[in-house]
Amino acid sequence: MNGSPTQPLLNLRRRRGRTLPGPGRQTLLKAFFGGNALVAVIVLLLITFFLFREGLSFFPQYRQDMELYRRSGMEYASLVRAEHERFNNLLGQLVNIRREQILQLEAEGKSREEIAALTAPMQAYITEFGELAVPLRDYQLAVRDLAAETYKQAQGRAITGRPAPGQSGLIDYAGTIATIKATFPQFTALNDQLESDMLHVLKTFPELEEPQLKPLAETFRRDAIAFTAGLPRYGAQLAEWEPERGVGLGEAVRSFLFGDQWLINNNGHSLFGLLPLLTGSLLVTGIAVLIAIPFGVGAAIYTNQMARRGESGFIKPCIEFITAIPSVVIGFFGIAVFGTLVRTLSQTPWLEWLPGFPVAERLNAFTAGCLLALMAIPTIFTLSEDAISRVPRIYAESSLALGATRFQTTMRIIVPTAVSGIVSAVLLGVGRVIGETMVVLLCAGNRIRIPDFTEGPGAAFQPVHTLTGIIAQEMGEVAQGGIHYRALFCVGVVLFLLTLGINFAAQRIFRHSRVGE
């Protein structure tokens, strides 16, 4: 009897002696876990160093290529091409008017023969209008071909450091520029003729009986008159063009950060403009966040404050299970089901009043944004629910004791107190969305163009490309160490800084949200 109380204590001490590691083992465990942490830090530093080294090496290389592009005369040809592309935009408006005209006639039940007869005047006008810029196009191609040979020689010399076989030691920049500048009177004459012809053709615009087409026709007339009035500006740009002016590093940086074109091997020259990719990423992220915040935060509030235990036990695993779905599966769902469903619904007559409806492209920013919202909801839900759980219970008890209802306590006491943690959850959700690759690559449409925000909310239904999508799409096709290769790394640097800033802001807000600690 006397020894029985001490026997269990002795057995417990023996068991603890067998399970708890001694000082030597503790040192080994600390070294093991500390070594893992050190390896993680080293790998992170190496990745960051390699990313910035390759990315920042892009700008000197791009500056050199831009200078060769200017000295060879290719920049002159690009200025002429800008005018021709503006004309082609007008031609595209005419094609769009005819397409809408055909859709209207089909909706009225007209036969193919009747549609062809009724749209024949517009088709003839499109043909006549398109022929006006043929001389300008031929001039641009001739100047481009003249400068392209010099530009290729300069590129080869910059890569290899020596002239190609059969070439002389010097590149005749001056001779090429003199030949190009000698054609300037021809360009002036072509522009004068184009201005006269356009003013004449605008007077013969066919009458459209469909009321829905009149706003499109008025927009075309207004844009065509503005184009005609701006033709002298293109001549002034060419007259002031200075091929001898060097390209500074700052100009190369500005061209990358604020450029609106991403064109690879365009007449031997590549344009790397970040703006359409950044705009696409922000548009898709904005759509995703606008959808994910109400669902994620709302579900967190309901589950934590209002749901019964059985409901909470069902809702939480279902939402958290979404994180287990591979992003490529969600992307396939967007291509095969969701995008097609949205486009089909948009063609319903009673939904035509919505901005952007009917949707022309099933793969667009809205499709990608909705699917990214689905992926962001678990992150926002889990972290928001955790922030609400950290609010001290005494806050709710005091509110209820003063006579407030459960709903009033939740919305006026609990949620405002946890708002910093909820904002942190939303920012982490944004970081999750903006770094996603597979869904946007499959569902965003991959059109490298800044959306037309003059359409208002309808811009959400236009195809876009994103920062992550361009890296995934083009990295496997580039030569290591080339300018295109380093341009993609520079996009990666921008994405890295963007996500780093978002996560840093979320962590700062999270520290201030630790209520009662």
Q: Which of 117-126, 259-268, 421-430, 455-464 has the lowest mean pLDDT?
A: 259-268
Segment 288-305, tens digit of pLDDT: 999 999 999 999 999 999
Average pLDDT over residues 56-74: 92
pLDDT band at 267 (very low <50, low <70, confident <90, very high): low
pLDDT band at 517 (very low <50, low <70, confident <90, very high): very low
Architecture of domain 74-159+172-242: Up-down Bundle (1.20)
Say what the pLDDT of residue 127 is.
94
How many angstroms separate the most distant Cα atoms in the chain?
Answer: 120
Using CA atoms, how far apart are residues 81 and 137, in angstroms rounded to an integer?
A: 8
pLDDT band at 516 (very low <50, low <70, confident <90, very high): very low
> Which DSSP string corresponds to 303-367?
IIIIS-HHHHHHHHHHHHHGGGS-HHHHHHHIIIIIHHHHHHHHTSGGGTTSTTPSPS-SSSHHH
**C-alpha 150 chain-centroid distance:** 35
Instruction: Yes or no: say if 93 and 54 are a contact pair by the CB < 8 Å rule.
Output: no
Say what the pLDDT of residue 12 is.
45
Q: Mention every residue, 6+ apart, whose C-beta is less than 8 A from residue 487.
A: 58, 62, 256, 270, 272
Structure tokens belonging to residue 288 = 């995703």
Segment 347-362, tens digit of pLDDT: 888 887 888 888 888 8
Instruction: Yes or no: say if 440 and 342 are a contact pair by the CB < 8 Å rule.
Output: no
Beta bridge partners of residue 271, listed in sequence order: 263
Structure tokens belonging to residue 174 = 């001056």
Domain 276-514 has CATH 1.10.3720.10: yes
Using CA atoms, how far apart are residues 9 and 7, in angstroms rounded to an integer?
A: 5
Instruction: Print the SS3 string covering 257-305.
Output: HHCCCEEEEECCEEEECCHHHHHHHHHHHHHHHHHHHHHHHHHHHHHHH
Say what the pLDDT of residue 352 is.
78
Segment 83-105, tens digit of pLDDT: 999 999 999 999 999 988 898 88
Segment 154-184, tens digit of pLDDT: 877 776 655 555 555 678 888 999 999 999 9
Segment 111-124, tens digit of pLDDT: 888 889 988 999 99
Beta bridge partners of residue 445, listed in sequence order: 464
Q: Is the pLDDT of residue 467 over 80?
A: yes
Distances (CA, A) of 471 to 59, 63, 486, 497: 18, 21, 11, 15
Distances (CA, A) of 443 to 101, 275, 297, 339, 372: 30, 20, 26, 8, 10
Say what the pLDDT of residue 364 is.
93
Instruction: Yes or no: say if 484 and 270 are a contact pair by the CB < 8 Å rule.
Output: yes
Give the global pTM.
0.82
Q: Mention every residue, 6+ apart, whose C-beta is less than 8 A from residue 297.
A: 380, 381, 384, 422, 425, 426
**C-alpha 106 chain-centroid distance:** 36
Structure tokens belonging to residue 9 = 């204590």
Which residue ranges make up each domain of the chain? 74-159+172-242, 276-514
Segment 305-360, tens digit of pLDDT: 988 888 888 999 999 899 899 999 999 999 999 999 998 888 888 887 888 888 88
Domain 276-514 in the same topology as domain 74-159+172-242: no
